[in-house]
Amino acid sequence: MKTAVIVTTYNRPDALAAVLAGYAAQRNAAFELIIADDGSTASTRSLVDDFKSRTDIPVTHVWHEDNGFRAAAIRNRALAATQSDYLIFSDGDCIPSPHFVATHQHLAERGWFVAGNRVLLSESFTARALEKQLPLHAWGIAEWLRGWLRGDVNRCLPLLRMPVGAVRKATPSRWKGVKTCNMAVWRDDLLRVNGLDETYSGWGLEDSDLAVRLIRAGIRHKSARLAAPVFHLWHVENDRSKLPENQHRLDSVITSQAVRAQMGLDQYS
């Protein structure tokens, strides 16, 4: 099973550097890394080029022009740039745990997509971690517990790695809460639903739309909680002015029988 990790980013090279350090330290996993760049300036390209020169991980940098928040579009472009069988989505401000990729590979199962969760870092701790280049990807549970007691992170429970067995399949039709900062899908299933829907403009709900359509296509939801968390660096809240429009679009998809994205992967085939 060939695996690709698709990491979206936009003009935040300090955060992306911390994320790339996390992928460089992955254990027992073979994968390619695709940086899905939503229009960053040259500093991000320089960072990616430097990382490529220092790692054995195959790295591809996919970029399009900055025309506002277009996460769905850049993820589709990244999907079109790989032939890997299994795709793991995350973000350029989400540091992976050391077993993140290997755990997602272990949880991969035909007929299911996998969704994990995140630990939120505080504003002050994020600034300190990036300034001092703290190796957060290498922290153990004791260090994170101390961070939680200091108020640096919002919770520690997701960091526990527990074999919950059949509980992972307890909510096969649940789409709420599924986020593309921690989600894995078979390539064949993404092709079946035509990838992400690029008619969603601005921040919000394109990942919910994808989950709804996957479930409608017969692909069920499997949980990666208590197995594969990411550590979400703090950032200023994105512009949400398009959220009502996106909510209306999602509501229409939920009440329809739509499976394929209106504007999706097929435009890159």
Query: What's residue 162's pLDDT?
Result: 66
Strand partners, 96: 230
- Strand pairing of 118-120 and 230-232? parallel
Q: Of 240, 210, 225, nearest to 119 (Cα)? A: 225
CA–CA dist 221, 3 (Å, integer): 19
CB 113 within 8 A of CB 180: no
**Residues, the chain:** 269
DSSP string for 74-126: HHHHHHHT---SEEEEEETTEEEPTTHHHHHHHH--TTEEEE--EEEBPHHHH
If one counts every other C-beta atom within 10 angstroms of the C-beta of residue 70, the result is 22
CA 204 from chain centre, in angstroms, equals: 14
Report the chain (269 residues): mean pLDDT per 10 consecutive residues.
97 98 94 98 98 97 95 96 98 96 96 96 96 93 90 80 81 94 98 96 91 98 92 87 89 94 93
The two tokens of residue 113 are 């997509």
Find the Cα–Cα–Cα–Cα dihedral 259, 262, 268, 269, rounded to 10°. Answer: 50
Task: Look up the CATH architecture of domain 3-268.
Answer: Alpha-Beta Complex (3.90)
